[in-house]
Structure formats: structure tokens, C-alpha cells
């Protein structure tokens, strides 16, 4: 699902992902990792935004930051190579 990283596709076909769906798609281990990473964000504004929204819009800057954060946090090699495929799965439409 590499299309999620294509800016032209994101701009032409925006969609939303409910935060509850995003969380439900995670494996328990992924949820623990992401909870720690998202709660330790240096930006208080980013933490507040993440916790305040019911859904993420694919054409919003928060979505881009969330996708990158998820991909890095769920890296299979300790962060050197972001796991873009898993981030795409978790933040896919539907």
C-alpha cells in the first residue's frame, strides 16, 4: 500500500481513519510501543492534538507526522529503517 506515501494520491483522495480503528488494528505489543512513543513526544501540542481527535484526516499534517512516527516506532531493525508497510496498514482507509 505504498500509495499512502504518495503526496499526489493523498491530496486527491483524502480519507479519515478513526483513532479507535487505528488502535484496534494494532497488535498488543505494537500498542505498548506506540503508546510510549506517542506519549513521550517532545511537542506538547502534538500530544494534545493526537489525544483530542476522534479521527485522522489523510490530508492533515498530523496524519503525516503520525505515519512517520508509527513507521519509525515499529521499525524491524531498531529504528534504522522505518516500517512504512506496517504504518500503511495501520493507517489505511476503511
30-42 residue pLDDT tens = 999 998 888 887 7
The per-residue pLDDT for range 54-82, each reduced to its tens digit, is 999 999 988 998 999 999 999 988 768 99
The pTM is what? 0.81
Region for 20 from its dihedrals, namely left if φ exceeds 0, alpha if ψ lies in -120 to 50, beta otherwise = alpha
Rounded Cα gap, residues 73 and 81, in angstroms: 10
Strands (E) in the chain, as ranges, are 16-18, 55-57
In the predicted model, what is the mean pLDDT of the chain? Answer: 85
Question: Which residues lie below 8 Å from residue 93, measured CB to CB, with a gap of 6+?
Answer: 15, 17, 58
- Rg over alpha carbons for the chain, rounded to the nearest Å, is 13
- Inter-residue contact 19 to 54 (CB < 8 Å): yes
Amino acid at each position: 500500500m505504498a500509495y499512502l506515501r504518495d503526496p499526489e494520491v493523498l491530496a486527491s483522495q483524502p480519507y479519515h481513519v478513526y483513532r479507535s480503528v487505528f488502535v484496534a488494528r494494532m497488535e498488543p505489543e505494537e500498542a505498548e510501543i506506540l503508546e510510549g512513543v506517542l506519549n513521550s513526544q517532545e511537542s506538547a501540542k502534538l500530544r494534545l492534538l493526537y489525544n483530542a481527535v476522534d479521527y485522522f484526516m489523510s490530508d492533515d499534517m498530523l496524519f503525516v507526522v503520525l505515519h512517520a512516527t508509527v513507521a519509525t516506532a515499529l521499525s524491524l531493525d531498531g529504528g534504522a529503517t522505518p516500517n512504512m508497510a506496517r504504518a500503511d496498514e495501520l493507517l489505511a482507509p476503511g
